[in-house]
């Protein structure tokens, strides 16, 4: 007991009673009363540890992270030996997004109690939020070493292993979590996701079905089941379940809210004005913009809101008014998220609108690029190929879909092509590898938008790309394109086929086993060898 407490108690004998009342009020979840009692105590004893800790914990329970941090910081200062105070401070800091400070607080707590499983687990969660996945995995492993039955650590260990692109190990972690908590819908859904990543969509669907049976309104399970159905070509249940995306954590805050009703194909649209709005990545917009002219041919006035980087490319679409995201919208009667278009049209495999080209490079850009590159740089007399070997590093599936440029060295050494990089974002190791490939002309840094990319593609004979927007662009332009895919590819590429109903000029090369890019690269060399006799004249 502090000297200040003794002195205050001598002057105000009811302090101990106030503290008991505050604790009782907290335990009875009378938080307002508990806060008032804590405040009364702190008027007399401003550094009373137990009261500061209790007040901070009340704020933490009520989601008042700023107030919790203030009270718990004072509590830690009043008693630096308290494991709980340091741990709760870490939790409040994590909730407030102050991740580095949260890590420091948890480390302080672990200095006092190095084997505390809950603190190790919470530290792992902060590391995961901070993208320090190696540290996160180590923290979860330490948690489980001290408490093998910690379900959260099993689950988040699996989540971390997925970030390492280790779905088989993640699946094992989820399976062990399900032994401890067999009916948990999130764990069942995570297991299904790992199975999808292992190209086992039928088994994934079984896991999602159990999750939905346990929790019928669990959005993540429905959305994941949509991806599995679409991968299998089961479009009717797939596109229907795809609408659950708006209730998932990943999409809930991205849903557009309009006073006009959403259109999903159930009402006639002739004579109406409809807004189609882009919702995901550039490639998604390029792929599904094909539905806009169909709406126009149905008698609707069509407005398409798209990313600004696509404006000049998409503006010439027949019968469609294109506007940029973030700008003022013209009046409209109905709206439809772009990736809900297949559902609205009742799209099946056999009815995919697959006529290409449905996009074209602006003629003035093509002329500019032909003049800019010149005959020598264009490699007149040789076939021309454009390459994209990696996607955006920020993409959640980047580790699975991208190829380090250095792995393509042998391919470039033996290609009788004029080779051009269309890679706009480039990692430092790839920049270094590019320096050692003089035969690969880097155009990526010169491409200002997708119209530039389309213009360059129009001057090429073939495009080779991993699963990025450039692959979609080449397909939409009707250009021969070889798309390099991981073993478990995105749902739109289906399974067990080397063609795609979305792009008739595309050839798909898939990893035969998880992580096997060498076989893909070998197949690519064979695939494009037949083009060596193309004249290259354009």
Instruction: Provide the pLDDT for residue 399.
Output: 78
Q: How far apart, in whole angstroms, are the C-alpha atoms of residue 378 and residue 388?
A: 18
3-class SS of residue 274? strand
Q: How far apart, in whole angstroms, are the C-alpha atoms of residue 516 and residue 363?
A: 40
3-class SS of residue 518? helix
Instruction: Provide the pLDDT for residue 534.
Output: 45
3-class SS of residue 348? coil
Instruction: Provide the pLDDT for residue 376.
Output: 62
**N- to C-terminal Cα separation, the chain:** 88
Q: How far apart, in whole angstroms, are the C-alpha atoms of residue 387 and residue 370?
A: 18
Instruction: Provide the pLDDT for residue 372.
Output: 87
Q: How far apart, in whole angstroms, are the C-alpha atoms of residue 372 and residue 365?
A: 10
Cβ proximity of 359 and 454 under 8 Å? yes
**Closest by CA position to 283, among listed 44, 132, 466, 99:** 466
244: left (phi over 0), alpha (psi -120 to 50) or beta: alpha
CATH 3.40.50.2000 segments of the chain: 363-533
3-class SS of residue 141? helix
Please state whether the peptide bond connecting residue 531 to the residue before it is cis, i.e. omega within 30 degrees of 0. Answer: no
- Tell me the two tokens of residue 491: 């749902």
How many C-beta atoms surround the C-beta of residue 260 within 10 A?
Answer: 14
pTM: predicted TM-score of the whole model, two decimal places: 0.90
Q: How far apart, in whole angstroms, are the C-alpha atoms of residue 463 and residue 354?
A: 19
- Tell me the two tokens of residue 114: 């190095």
Place of tokens 């401070």: 89
- Go through 478-498 and write b for each residue having 16 or more CB atoms within 10 A of its CB, e for each that does not: bbbbbbbbbbbbbbbbbeeee
Q: How far apart, in whole angstroms, are the C-alpha atoms of residue 229 and residue 231?
A: 5
Cα separation values, 7 from 1, 3, 13, 396, 481, Å:
10, 6, 10, 58, 82
The DSSP bridge partners found for residue 305 are 277, 323
- CA 338 to the chain's CA centroid: 18
β-pairing, 462-466 vs 273-277, is: unpaired
**Closest by CA position to 382, among listed 445, 447, 313, 461:** 461
CATH 1.25.40.10 segments of the chain: 3-247
Give one DSSP letter per residue of 142-188, joined into a string: HHHHH-TT-HHHHHHHHHHHHHTT-HHHHHHHHHHHHHHSTT-HHHH
CATH superfamily membership of 3-247 = Tetratricopeptide repeat domain (1.25.40.10)
Instruction: Provide the pLDDT for residue 396.
Output: 72
Backbone phi, psi, residue 326, to 5°? 90, -15
Instruction: Provide the pLDDT for residue 7.
Output: 47
Beta strands in 14-145 (DSSP E): none
Instruction: Provide the pLDDT for residue 535.
Output: 42
Backbone phi, psi, residue 395, to 5°? -70, 135
The set of residues, in sequence order, having a beta carbon less than 8 Å from that of 284 and lying 6+ positions away, is 278, 338, 339
Q: Which fold has domain 256-351?
A: Rossmann fold (3.40.50)
Q: How far apart, in whole angstroms, are the C-alpha atoms of residue 506 and residue 175?
A: 38
Provide CATH code, domain 363-533. 3.40.50.2000
**pLDDT tens for the chain, residues 1 to 538:** 454 544 444 455 477 788 888 888 888 888 888 888 888 888 878 888 888 998 899 999 999 999 999 999 999 999 999 999 999 999 999 999 999 999 999 999 999 999 999 999 999 999 999 999 999 999 999 999 999 999 999 999 999 999 999 999 999 999 999 999 999 999 999 999 999 999 999 999 999 999 999 999 999 999 999 999 999 999 999 999 999 999 999 998 899 999 999 999 999 999 999 999 999 999 999 999 999 999 999 999 999 999 999 999 999 998 999 999 988 999 999 999 999 999 999 999 999 999 999 999 999 999 999 988 876 667 677 889 999 999 877 777 777 889 999 999 888 888 888 899 999 988 899 899 999 998 899 999 899 999 999 999 999 999 999 999 999 999 999 999 999 999 999 999 999 999 999 999 999 999 999 889 999 999 998 888 776 554 444 5
Cβ proximity of 434 and 421 under 8 Å? yes
């Amino acid at each position: 007991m502090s000297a200040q407490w003794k002195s205050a108690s001598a002057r105000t004998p009811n302090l101990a009673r106030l503290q008991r009342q505050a604790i009782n009020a907290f335990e009875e979840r009378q938080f307002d009363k508990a806060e008032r009692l804590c405040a009364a105590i702190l008027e007399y004893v401003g550094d009373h540890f137990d009261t500061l800790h209790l007040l901070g914990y009340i704020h933490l329970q009520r989601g008042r992270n700023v107030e919790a941090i203030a009270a718990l910081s004072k509590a830690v200062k009043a008693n630096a030996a308290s494991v709980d105070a340091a741990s709760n401070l870490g939790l409040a800091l994590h909730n407030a997004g102050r991740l580095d400070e949260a890590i420091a607080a948890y480390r302080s707590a672990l200095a006092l109690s190095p084997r505390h499983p809950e603190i190790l687990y919470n530290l792992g969660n902060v590391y995961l939020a901070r993208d320090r996945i190696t540290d996160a995995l180590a923290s979860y492993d330490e948690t489980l070493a001290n408490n093998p039955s910690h379900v959260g650590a099993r689950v988040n260990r699996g989540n971390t292993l997925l970030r390492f692109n280790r779905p088989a190990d993640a699946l094992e972690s989820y399976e062990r979590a399900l032994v401890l908590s067999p009916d948990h819908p999130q764990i069942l859904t995570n297991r299904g996701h790992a199975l999808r990543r292992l190209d086992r969509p039928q088994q994934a669907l079984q896991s999602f079905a159990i999750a939905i049976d346990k929790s019928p309104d669990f959005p993540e399970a429905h959305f994941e089941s949509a991806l599995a159905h679409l991968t299998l070509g089961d479009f009717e249940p797939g596109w229907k379940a795809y609408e659950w995306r708006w209730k998932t954590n990943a999409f809930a805050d991205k849903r557009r809210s309009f006073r006009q009703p959403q259109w999903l194909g159930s009402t006639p649209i002739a004579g109406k004005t409809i807004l189609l709005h882009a919702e995901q990545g550039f490639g998604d917009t390029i792929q599904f913009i094909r539905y806009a002219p169909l709406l126009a041919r149905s008698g609707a006035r069509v407005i398409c809101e798209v990313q600004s980087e696509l404006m000049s490319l998409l503006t010439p679409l027949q019968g469609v008014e294109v506007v940029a995201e973030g700008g003022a919208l013209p009046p409209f009667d109905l709206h439809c998220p772009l990736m809900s278009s297949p559902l609205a049209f009742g799209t099946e495999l056999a009815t995919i609108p697959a006529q290409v080209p449905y996009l074209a490079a602006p003629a003035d850009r093509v002329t500019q690029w032909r003049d800019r590159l010149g005959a020598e740089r264009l490699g007149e007399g040789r076939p021309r190929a454009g390459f994209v070997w990696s996607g955006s590093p920020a993409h959640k599936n980047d580790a699975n879909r991208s190829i380090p440029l250095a792995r393509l060295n042998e391919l470039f050494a033996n290609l009788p092509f004029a080779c051009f990089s269309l890679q706009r974002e480039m990692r430092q190791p790839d920049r270094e590898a590019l320096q050692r490939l003089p035969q690969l002309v880097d155009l990526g840094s010169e491409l200002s938008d997708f119209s530039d990319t389309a213009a360059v593609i129009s001057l090429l004979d073939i495009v080779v790309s991993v699963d990025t927007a450039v692959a979609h662009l080449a397909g939409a332009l009707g250009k021969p394109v070889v798309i390099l895919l991981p073993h478990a590819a995105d749902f739109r590429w289906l399974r067990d086929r080397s063609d795609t109903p979305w792009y008739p000029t595309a050839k798909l090369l898939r990893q035969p086993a998880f992580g096997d890019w060498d076989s893909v690269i070998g197949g690519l060399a064979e695939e494009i060898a037949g083009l060596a006799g193309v004249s290259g004249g354009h």
